[in-house]
Structure 1
Amino acid sequence: MRPRLAAVQARIQGRTLAGLLSLPDPVLRRLAGPPVVVDGQTLDPGTQLVLRLQRLLREPAAEQHPVAEGREILAAQSLTVGGRHPVGAVLDTVLAGLPTRVYVPRALLASASRPTLLFLHGGGFIYGGGHATHDAPCRFLAERAGVQVVAVDYRLAPEAPFPAAYDDSVAAYRELLSDARSHCVDVDRLAVGGDSAGGNLATGVALAAAREGLPLALQLLVYPMTDCTASSVSRRTFGEGFFLTTAFMDLATESYVPSADLLRDPRLSPLFAEIPDGLAPAHVVTAGFDPLRDEGEAYASRLEEAGVAVDSRREPGLIHGFLNWVGLPGQARDAVGRIADRLGAALH
């Protein structure tokens, strides 16, 4: 399907989904089916309905296709759930040699020194990009939090395996600092954040910053991958039926990690990292029905034990990927609103 036609179709599907999720709660529950309860948590009915429709429509799963096709599938899905979000300005540039998109909220258009979030997208290190999959949440975060968002498209596997994404992320952070004036960055109000694989990379940037004594005000970690050994209970409990699958995670590991002896490398699995002094405060958000739930919460606990200021929250009814659902009414968008508010409070 041609890209323009695919985008139009995704927008139409998104409006249809938004209409369904706006129905009264009793109707939404009937459409979604009987409540799904696991670990004492009840799956959000709106999320349950979307998952049910995906199964009924036999929507393709990215991991079941060649990587290039999988990237197109995830881009289309992100467009469907992302919606439209006006923002003050969107600028395409290059940071550390990497394609980068800058989102400036309306409130900061006239400012030459802006609170800034360096955003690293999720996608298992093999999919995604600020342009393709995370344009909507970046727009939402910028306007709602009142911060500049700098979204970097790091190199992807399998073309560029570990540690390429890690190296790119750290290099982008260093360049933001070294050339802060031209990027309109207030270095005293600079955060790093990301979701899933991007949350993993954000931990790496934060750890590197602390080791080098460089400024960082916050690390924003949304359902981060922190343990590549895949040993948590939630990986087994939620590995099927809740969007992020075991097959997806296995493909990501096989594509990104060249050798099994790297699985505990702290640049890849920050749960095994030494926690340096001066590490930036962390806001860690997990989802109740997410295979990565336990390792994200384990990392939050690890930071707390090391004396790092941590604000941790679980969204019990949600699934992996909810950050992208800002175009749909319901619990997911409300959760992203809370993330944006926490980001704004930390940087203002």
Structure 2
Amino acid sequence: MPLDRFLRSLIAWQSAGDPPVPDRFLTVEQARERYRASVSRPHREDGLPPTAVTAVDQTIGTADGASIRCRVYTPASDERRVITYLHGGGWVLGDLDTHDGACRILAATLGAVVVSADYRRPPEFPYPTPLRDAVAAARWTARSFPGRDHVIAGDSAGAGLSLGVAFDARDTGDLPLAALLLMYPPVDPSLRIASASEHAEGYLLTVADMVWSYEMYVPDPRHRGDPAVDLLNADLRGLPATVLATAEFDPLHDEGVRLAERLDASGVSVCEIPGPGLVHGYFLMQDMVPAAAACSRLVLEKLHAVLRSLSAPRAT
């Protein structure tokens, strides 16, 4: 399918002016500020009623005695679900505000309390601190909202962290999870698959961007092979039902497809939702790109169906 016409216009508009300076040539704070400016739309709910979701900031203790913020979104409707959400932004750039609108949509659409975790970010806090914070947030969520179907969800870097949380939950056995929602996850730190993609550059996210992000997140090459980093080659058995979204014009598309294949081969119930004509990060573009909104609705409808099937009475 061709690149979506709205995205094509956006990319052409960017290319017509001075080429944007890549994040790797900016200071980290400059890169963060540019990312916030490009994706933050404070309190937008993309057509939802103004009272559909309320949000309150909380503080969570971490395993090393520090604390992180989280934002708890409570929908007007309640389906007895709770979602720990881990934001994207290459591990380095995103925060609670950049993904505020996406979390409001998630809460309202699924009737779920959403706990968005502001994990500590590299380069100040490289791996494994962001992952440990994500695990701490998931455990806080489970304690704070018992008796609900618990989903771990994330986009981009947050989707990679979500898989790491799921590994911890499986291996410890004390954090029951109902499902995973993974939006275009990075799972191959070698970037060999992404580098071979015909969409390696020219579609907002580039392989060079991912090189920079991995260097920030896992600066010690000895850890690039850890299962929580080299997710594509990790043991995927025993994970919960997974909804995995990919985007056609994304350097990470092919590794996402391979992850879905590996999950299936490992006995995990997985549904891959393709994003025809879309680019990496489309979940944050729902107010600008109609096709992104439509595909995002499809992803959430599939997750809703998965959760309903888990709670449906079984025939005896």
TM-score by length of 1: 0.80
Counterpart residue number, 2:215: 254
Regions of 4+ moved over 6 Å: none
Counterpart residue number, 2:39: 78
How much identity, in percent, do the aligned residues show? 35
Mark the CA change 1:343 to 1:148 in structure 2 (over 3 Å): closer, same or farther: farther
CA distance in structure 1 between the partners assigned to 2:198 and 2:3 by the alignment: 14
Matched, 1:313 2:278: no
Which string of whole-angstrom CA distances, capped at 9 and with x for unpartnered residues, describes residues 121-146 of structure 1?
11111110122x11111111111222
Q: Which amino acid aligns with 2:137?
A: A
Counterpart residue number, 1:91: 56
Counterpart residue number, 2:64: none
Alignment of 1:108-257 (within 5 A): 108=78, 114-131=80-97, 133-177=98-142, 179-180=143-144, 185-213=145-173, 214-233=175-194, 236-257=197-218
Task: Report if aligned partners of 2:45, 2:105 keep a CA contact under 8 Å in 1.
Answer: no
TM-score by length of 2: 0.88
CA distance in structure 2 between the partners assigned to 1:202 and 1:256 by the alignment: 15
Shift of 1:276: 3.6
Shift of 1:61: 4.8
CA distance in structure 1 between the partners assigned to 2:118 and 2:17 by the alignment: 31
CA distance in structure 2 between the partners assigned to 1:101 and 1:280 by the alignment: 25
Among 251, 259, 281, which residue is 1:299 paired with?
259
Which string of whole-angstrom CA distances, capped at 9 and with x for unpartnered residues, describes residues 306-333 of structure 1?
1110111211210001010121241011
CA distance in structure 1 between the partners assigned to 2:284 and 2:271 by the alignment: 22
Mark the CA change 1:75 to 1:61 in structure 2 (over 3 Å): closer, same or farther: farther
CA distance in structure 1 between the partners assigned to 2:87 and 2:110 by the alignment: 18
Mark the CA change 1:298 to 1:187 in structure 2 (over 3 Å): closer, same or farther: farther
Counterpart residue number, 1:101: 71
CA distance in structure 1 between the partners assigned to 2:41 and 2:17 by the alignment: 14
Counterpart residue number, 1:330: 290
Alignment of 1:58-69 (within 5 A): 58=18, 60-61=20-21, 63=23, 64-69=25-30
Alignment of 1:45-60 (within 5 A): 45-58=5-18, 60=20
SS, match of residue 40 in structure 2: helix
SS, match of residue 232 in structure 1: helix
CA distance in structure 2 between the partners assigned to 1:82 and 1:272 by the alignment: 38
Q: Which has the higher helix share?
A: 1
Task: Report if aligned partners of 1:92, 1:102 keep a CA contact under 8 Å in 2.
Answer: yes
Matched residues, number: 297
Mark the CA change 1:187 to 1:203 in structure 2 (over 3 Å): closer, same or farther: farther
Task: Report if aligned partners of 2:191, 2:207 keep a CA contact under 8 Å in 1.
Answer: no
CA distance in structure 2 between the partners assigned to 1:255 and 1:211 by the alignment: 27
Relative contact order higher in (CA < 8 Å, ≥ 6 apart) = 1
Shift of 1:175: 2.1
CA distance in structure 1 between the partners assigned to 2:274 and 2:199 by the alignment: 15
Q: Which amino acid aligns with 1:295?
A: E
| Unaligned residue ranges in structure 1 (runs of 5+) | 1-40
Task: Report if aligned partners of 2:156, 2:185 keep a CA contact under 8 Å in 1.
Answer: yes
Mark the CA change 1:332 to 1:290 in structure 2 (over 3 Å): closer, same or farther: same
